[in-house]
Amino acid sequence: WKFIIPVFGAILSWILIPNESPDLVSIAGITTTAIALVLFNRQNAIQSKDPAS
């Protein structure tokens, strides 16, 4: 859910709000946010599988 909310929020705003369109900065921000959330969640999954750490 943490991944879906910011990404789809931006996409829906581009679709639903008149005269709103993605620009390079917005796309870069969404991409950075998505990558950060994936890496963060992946690290949490690895730590929860390894009880020694």
> How far is Cα 52 from Cα 48, in angstroms, rounded to an integer?
10
Please report the pLDDT score of residue 25 as a whole number. Answer: 93
Q: Which two tokens stand for residue 20?
A: 């709103």
Q: What is the mean pLDDT of residues 22-34?
A: 89
Q: Higher model confidence: residue 34 or residue 53? A: 34
Alpha helices in the chain (DSSP H): 4-16, 24-49
Q: What is the mean pLDDT of residues 28-44?
A: 85
Residue 49 · residue 26 · CB < 8 Å: no
Band of pLDDT at residue 38, cut at 50, 70 and 90: confident
CB atoms within 10 A of CB 25: 8
Is the per-residue pLDDT at 18 higher than 80?
Answer: yes
